[in-house]
Amino acid sequence: MIGKIISHYRILEKIAESNMAEVYKAQDIQLGRYVVLKFLKADLQAKSEEKQRFIREAQAASALDHNNICTIYEIGETDDGQMFIAMAYYEGGSLKDRISRGRMPPAEAVDMAIQIAQGLAKAHERGIVHRDIKPANVMLNSDGVAKIVDFGLAKLADATRLTKRDVVVGTPAYMSPEQAKPFDPEQAHSPDVDHRTDIWSLGVVLYEMLSAQTPFTGENYLAVLFAINNLDPEPLQKHVPDLPPRLLHIVERALKKSVDERYPFINDVLLDLRRCPPPNGGEEPEVVVISSRGSNVAKKLRPLIEQTLSFTFTPKPPAGENPYLNRVRIQNPDEFYGRRSELSRIYERIKAGRPQSVSLVGVRRIGKSSLLSAIHHPANRLKYLPVPQEYVCVYMDFQEKRNVAPAEILRHILSALQNEYRGRLKLKVQPDYEGLMEVVHAFQEAGLKLIFLWDEFESVTRNSNIGAEFYAYFRALANNYNVAYITTSSAQLQTLCHTKAIADSPFFNIFTNLHLGPFKPEEARQLIAEPSGKAGKPLAAHTDFVLEIAGHFPFFIQMACAALFSMDRLDKAAYKKARETFMEEAGPHFREYWERFDESQKAVVAALAKGKKPPREHAFAVKYLTQAGFVLNGKLFSTLFAEFVREITGSGRRWWEVW
């Protein structure tokens, strides 16, 4: 390659090589400047659709035009089909080179982290997630300005996992826990990987800048991935004893294994980095500490919640990408469709003279978690609440808190409350009933109303470690303070308790039940038309087909639309392929629903699948199935669900045999 001319670039020397690319220094023979040419490895160019995806990613990154993002000059292809990227050449080397000379002073590390975070904030705002932030992907110009490189490469490499099981996407030491999950051959990439994976990787880089070593190590990449998922990093104080507490907090929070405990957005990281004390030992910003009843902090609490409401930034989905792939707890208001009447009803309960508790009930995959996230989002609080500064909404997911002791639940609540205040609230109380009471009392004195948003609350009601005292305590909080609870569960909470004594607790009497069913017809049509229209491939003309196989369940509508959106042409053959793709994904969920039905419900569903009227003695089951959305206008909600039922009951042929 040395001396060869590619396009109008003369190759001068090889700079580096990775599992994704070969990198050369070259000279632009037209403009006389030095550039970097990055040639993608052959396995990243195997499929034309993946090449096109990468081109879109690189084009989007080149349009960011930010001081902390590398300038891309050109995306090209050689005569023999080898793809390359031409980008700016920087004299200062990489951040990896800088770290190799020893750990960086805190002020220098913070400055570098701020620059990286600024570049990521610009990318996330445009819906671009880097997925491989590491020192080698941060270049420095002659003035020490950081430039992030290689946007899109990790996402392209991710696609090769379908054909190469041994591929490790990203660099193991910097991968987030969600990236480091065991490989699933059924998925091209984990649906859980979003902008917060970049926050984790930035936390690793900051740890390394301060200590000159990465927080997670091992003898091989599998050992590193195990450490990322299961072990805590060595305390940073062990390497750098005198670090400011705020800087330690930033690293610790960025490296939370649960994405819900991590910083929610890169702008939050930026805020804390900019608040770090200056190198001359200046004072840190004030942190409010609640340590005991009567600690006189009430007047300081309200200004803090006003600051959290000012951060309404949410990443935008990238143009051209399939907009129907995000189905797990939708957090971006721009991607949240339907449920406006439910959202309004819940906020009406919240803003009552004393906030009222609501139990959201619905079958699995009906959108309960996404609705809870919409309630929590600052943009909606600003829209629906008359004085949003008076409300503190604390989101918690109890799915991973099964079978734990009450103290662990209380620790979870206190931790979530601190996270809501973005690190500026410290709760130095015991994780017990008295400790939480002290915190609630302080908020009451400040004139604030606490709204606890508890997702998957049946994990608590089914927990045999949680006794009647727990429910009596939280009932007393709601009775005596401005405290309310919004819970989600698959059925009414009383039916999900581990004992009758718990089910009879007066705690459950404070809730208004709100049953979450399928979308209304206009909401279903909106979900089909708007995301696809915004992404440049309208599906409104195919509404009847989508509703035929998906019904009005938003989860299944997204599946059907995702399948159609991926088709080059939308004809009869595409419909057949979309049905196949839909059934591959929906089939396990159909089976799960079937297995959860009781005998009466199965009898009704089986009868309707055969086109018969259900027996009259099962009228109650018909009512439930209609309310839950499985029965629509006297028929099963989906033709494919009906065919699934006929197959599983042995009364019909498979749908693809009769197509």
**Shared fold status for 5-88 and 95-274:** no
Q: Report the relative pairing of strands 5-6 and 21-28 from DSSP bridges.
A: unpaired
Q: Cα–Cα distances in Å, from 569 out to 53, 538, 544, 574, 584?
A: 18, 12, 17, 7, 20
Residue 314: pLDDT band (50, 70, 90) is low
- As a whole number of angstroms, the distance between CA 39 and CA 28 comes to 16
pLDDT in tens, 272-299: 898 886 544 444 555 677 876 655 676 7
The tokens for 501 are 């004594």
Confirm if 378 and 309 have CB atoms less than 8 A apart. yes
User: What is the phi/psi pair of residue 487, to 5°?
Assistant: -115, 160
pLDDT in tens, 605-623: 999 999 999 988 999 999 9
Mean pLDDT of all residues belonging to the chain:
85
pLDDT in tens, 112-158: 999 999 999 988 887 788 888 999 999 998 778 899 988 755 454 44
Superfamily for the 333-515 domain: P-loop containing nucleotide triphosphate hydrolases (3.40.50.300)
Q: Evaluate if residue 53 carries a pLDDT over 80.
A: no
Question: Which residue, 81, 78, 85, 25, is CA-closest to 55?
Answer: 85
Helices (H) and strands (E) in the chain, counts: 25, 17
- As a whole number of angstroms, the distance between CA 622 and CA 632 comes to 10
Over range 622-650, report the average pLDDT: 93
DSSP states along 146-164: EEE--TTHHHHHHHGGGT-
Radius of gyration of the chain (CA): 27
Place of tokens 């300081």: 300
Confirm if 26 and 16 have CB atoms less than 8 A apart. no
Residue 214 is predicted with a pLDDT of 94
Over range 598-603, report the average pLDDT: 94
Torsion of CA 536, 324, 370, 345, to 10 degrees: 50
| pTM: predicted TM-score of the whole model, two decimal places | 0.66
Q: Evaluate if residue 493 carries a pLDDT over 90.
A: yes
User: What is the phi/psi pair of residue 312, to 5°?
Assistant: -105, 10
pLDDT in tens, 147-187: 998 875 545 444 444 333 344 455 789 999 988 876 554 44
Q: Identity (one letter) of the amino acid at 492? A: Q
Lowest mean pLDDT among 309-323, 472-486, 590-604: 309-323
- Residue 299: how many other CB atoms lie within 10 Å: 11
pLDDT in tens, 327-338: 778 877 888 999
May I ask the CATH class of domain 95-274?
mainly alpha
pLDDT in tens, 337-362: 999 999 999 999 999 989 999 999 99
List 483's β-bridge partners, or say none: 450
Report the SS3 class of residue 647.
helix
Residue 455 is predicted with a pLDDT of 94
Does domain 5-88 bear CATH number 3.30.200.20? Answer: yes
Q: Cα–Cα distances in Å, from 125 out to 69, 131, 212, 270, 576?
A: 14, 15, 31, 14, 37
User: What is the phi/psi pair of residue 511, to 5°?
Assistant: -95, 140
pLDDT in tens, 296-309: 676 778 777 776 67
- Domain ranges in the chain are 5-88, 95-274, 333-515, 539-658
Contacting residues for 128 by C-beta, under 8 A, at least 6 apart:
57, 60, 61, 64, 151, 152, 318
Task: With both helix axes pointing from N to C terminus, report the angle between 368-376 and 340-350 in degrees, rounded to the nearest 10.
Answer: 50
